[in-house]
Every structure is written in structure tokens, then in C-alpha cells.
Amino acid sequence: MRALTPELCSVHTHSALCDGKHTPEEMAVAACAAGVRYFGFSGHSHTSCPSDAGGVLPSDMTEYRETVLRLRREYEGRMEILLGLEWDSVSDVSPAGFDYWIGSVHHLQNPDTGVYYTVDWKPESLAKCCVELFHGCFPALIGQYYADVAAVAAKKPTILGHFDLITKLNGDGELFDEDDRHYRSAALASLRTVDTAATLLEINTGAVSRGYRKTPYPAIFLLREWKEMGGRIILTSDSHSADTVVYGYADAAELARAAGFGESVLMTARGPEMCLLT
């Protein structure tokens, strides 16, 4: 029996049924060829907001469910296929009835006008949000983002998605200083609300594979705090194409070890299993 390694598991993935490049069938073929043993589809949940960040699943997820369950049957004995969902903070559907779900914040909403702003797609949208919703005060925007993350965490998702997604478009600090104590205080306050017994924190390489970042989410100061809290981690690729199903796992494992972790979680049909970080 082969040793358990993080590369055996990839459960944050997107197909052409939402905003991915390849069909579910192509994603499954690629995962199996890469040696993945536990593969999860986590399509973006439907929201009522007009999105400039790409597609989401329809509110009726029947086709999505049937497609994933058909692939589960086809790959039985070769690869476990899990039915997951990436549930958005402004979603209008329930995350119930899935093998697991990832809780994420991709949007902020103006409570007065109902206008939605994406935090991870275009710098112009984030800048517009800062001006229109927070009167140009980026610390206030950051505070709202992390308050929304805490609200998602309170629902006890299986996995908390790209915790500090607000940094995706920050590059070399053009929007805000990620070392600033006010920023770190807001991020840490949000993290400390997460139930470590119920929720995994992902180390997500998706922004690296798509050229937005040089290192995975989340920042090491957050991972070190999560370790102190007794939290568990899972490595994910946030893959949107067949060539990235286990992208950057070596870098994610290195980051995890630097934060003090020696193990990560594999998501299986039987539940979480621990494996050594290699």
C-alpha cells in the first residue's frame, strides 16, 4: 500500500459547469492520470448578483449532482469522487446535501443599493467598492471583508476557502500594507472565530497557478496562529483547468511546514484522514 501524501487529494476544483475551462469528464481524467485518489468537484454556488468573475452553477443543481455521481460510479475502484460545493457568502442556495462544502467570500454588498462588488476579479471593482461603499477607506473595506469571512465561518463549513482572498489583487502592496498591524489585527480576529473542530483551513495554490500571487493563501502569520489554535489544514489547488489539479502542492507543503505543521488532511468518502507533509 502506498504511503498517504497530500497529492492524493484534490477537492477544490471547478469545471466548465461553472467557471472552469474543462468539462467534468476532462477534469476527472486529468486527476486520475495525476495519481489523485480522492477528487472532489466544488462548483461555485449560485448567487443572485450579476457576476463579472465568471460562471456559477444554476440554482437548480440537478445536472451538476447527476454528472458528479455518474463520474463517481465510473471511477469506482480507481478514484473516489466526492460531491462538493463552494458556497459563496452571498449565495441564494443551501450547502446542505453535499459530501463537503467550502465556505468563501468573493463579494461585498452595499446594503443601501444592493450593488455587489467582487473582491478577487478586477482591481477596478475593488477600487470602486472602496470609494462607493467605504468612502475611500481601505481599512474599512478590509474590516468588512473579514467580518464577512467570520460570518461564513460561523456556519461551520467543511473547509474555509482562501481565507485572505482580499490580498489576491494587492500585488506588491499597491492597495494596502499586509504587514500593517491594523490589517493583521482584522485578519487574526476573524480567524480566531473559526471552529477548529468543525472546519479545515485550506492552503490554496490557485492564485499562484493563475499568476496573481507568488505564494499560496493564507499568509504564514495566519497559518502560525491557526497552528496555535489547534487547527487542521488541507492542501488545495483551486483548479480551474485540467493541468492544475495538484498544482503547487510542494510549495504549499513547504509553507505549511514553515508554519509548524507536520500533517495535512485528505478528504475521503469516509471522512478526513491525516497524512504526513512530505
Q: Tell me, yes or no, whether 201 lies in a domain.
A: yes
Picking from 97, 4, 84, the residue whose alpha carbon sits closest to that of residue 39 is 84
14: CB partners within 8 A, 6+ apart: 20, 42, 43, 44, 86, 238, 239, 240
Q: How do residues 189-234 score in pLDDT, each as one tens digit?
A: 999 999 999 999 999 999 999 999 999 999 999 999 999 999 999 9
Q: Tell me, yes or no, whether 217 lies in a domain.
A: yes
Q: Tell me, yes or no, whether 27 lies in a domain.
A: yes
Contact 218, 207 (CB under 8 A): no
Residue 164 domain boundaries:
6-276
User: What are the start-end ranges of the H helices in 80-167?
Assistant: 123-134, 138-153
Phi, psi of 5 (to 5 degrees): -135, 155
Band (pLDDT 50/70/90 cuts) for residue 54 is: low
Q: Tell me, yes or no, whether 236 lies in a domain.
A: yes
| CATH label of the domain that carries residue 199 | 3.20.20.140
Q: Tell me, yes or no, whether 1 lies in a domain.
A: no
| β 271-276/263-268 pair status | antiparallel
Q: How much is the mean pLDDT over the chain?
A: 95
Please state, in angstroms and rounded to a whole number, the distance separating the CA atoms of residues 254 and 237.
15
Please state, in angstroms and rounded to a whole number, the distance separating the CA atoms of residues 242 and 259.
29
CA-based radius of gyration for the chain = 18
Q: Which residues pair with 239 in a beta bridge?
A: 13
Query: Mean pLDDT, to the nearest integer, of 47-71?
Result: 87
Q: Tell me, yes or no, whether 173 lies in a domain.
A: yes
Q: Tell me, yes or no, whether 128 lies in a domain.
A: yes
User: What are the start-end ranges of the H helices in 85-219?
Assistant: 123-134, 138-153, 181-191, 206-209
pTM for the complete prediction?
0.96
Would you state the pLDDT for residue 1?
Answer: 35
Q: How do residues 101-135 score in pLDDT, each as one tens digit?
A: 999 999 999 988 888 999 998 888 899 999 999 99
Q: Which residues pair with 276 in a beta bridge?
A: 263
- Total domains in the chain come to 1
